[in-house]
Amino acid sequence: MSGVAGARGVTTQGREGIEPFLAAAGAVLDVRAPSEYAQGHIPGARNLPLFSDAERAAVGTAYKQQGRQAAIQLGLELVGPRLGQLGEALRTAQADHGGVLRLHCWRGGMRSESVAWLGRQLDVPVLVLEGGYKAFRRWVLELLDQPWPVQLLGGRTGTGKTDLLLALRQRGVAVVDLEGLAHHRGSSFGGLGLPPQPSNEHYENRIALELQRHRQRGAQQIWLEAESAQVGRCRIPAGLWRQMQQAPLLEIQRPLEERLRQLVAVYGGQDPVALRDATERIARRLGPQRTSAAVEAIDRGDWSAAASQMLDYYDRCYDHELARHGAGDQRRLLGSHDLGHLSAEAAADQLLGSGCITASAA
């Protein structure tokens, strides 16, 4: 590292660029205001705000109206009473995680340097991100536009694509779970029972770090689920989406009864009111008869019957995409595999055994 020693050879004076900063051991502390952190942050970072949102706004106003010195003086008055609390948070973070305490603000300027100064007084090893979160975002966007060895796993609704990808990941296959990172399963029902979705900015951050991790491990294939351009409210980054449009696709198939069983397993325990609302959101596409039949089935607790009404619509959407894939689309269809009633784990073993999917070299 540039000018750093102590914990992992780190002094208390260091600044680093994105990749060495991310590779260092220890906690990442984002000292921006809570609203900045909520909009998007380095995945895994904890928020230790130097200023609240209101305080940040007040300091910014002072800077614009009275100048730099007035803003610094106000900042000192606001932070002064909390120095002991901030110092204890720094010591605790370093004790919990070891290594160097990695700090950043928006541009890598006064906020992160102020907290770094406090850490140095407490003999806590610190490292500041050169250029701050702004530089990280620039790195993310550049990374997402780079070429990736993308391969797609496709299949109709209910074929268990996500569970299969997760089983493949456990077996050493490079996988980016676009739905898991978005906290959404990709359909009108996709958000039921899941945490709130991240901002689109933070979704991009998550995807970028996953891709970079696979590159560092030497992955020759990176498997993603074939998705629409949006996963709930999260939009797949444009550069990656363009590559997905041309990526080879492996289709998996399962019998109708197995697909219904999988859908019941995922959605059968959800709130019936939420299921009804999600059904009514796609009423125009389902048509009045199928919508009515699905809603009646939900009301009587027969999710299998409800799901069978919706599969007709989702199957038509999938068939349309697959036809486009085979006629005029630049992607290659790698073939189709009927997985029958195999568990996700057994299906993953079968695909790996067939040689159409390979584990990462690392």
The gap between the terminal CA atoms of the chain, to the nearest Å, is 25
Please choose, from the candidates 34, 37, 30, the residue with its C-alpha nearest in 3D space to the C-alpha of residue 199. Answer: 37
What gap in Å lies between CA 8 and CA 29, rounded to an integer? 18
- C-alpha angle with apex 182: 151 to 280, nearest 5 degrees? 105
DSSP-H helix ranges across 67-199 = 68-79, 83-97, 110-121, 132-144, 161-170, 178-182
Answer whether 157's CB lies under 8 Å from 263's CB. yes
Between the CA of residue 43 and those of 8, 237, 299, what are the distances in Å? 22, 17, 41
Active site residue 356: no
What gap in Å lies between CA 112 and CA 332, rounded to an integer? 48
**Options 105, 234, 317, 356, the catalytic residue:** 105
Please choose, from the candidates 158, 156, 345, the residue with its C-alpha nearest in 3D space to the C-alpha of residue 264. Answer: 158
Catalytic residues, which ones? Answer: 105
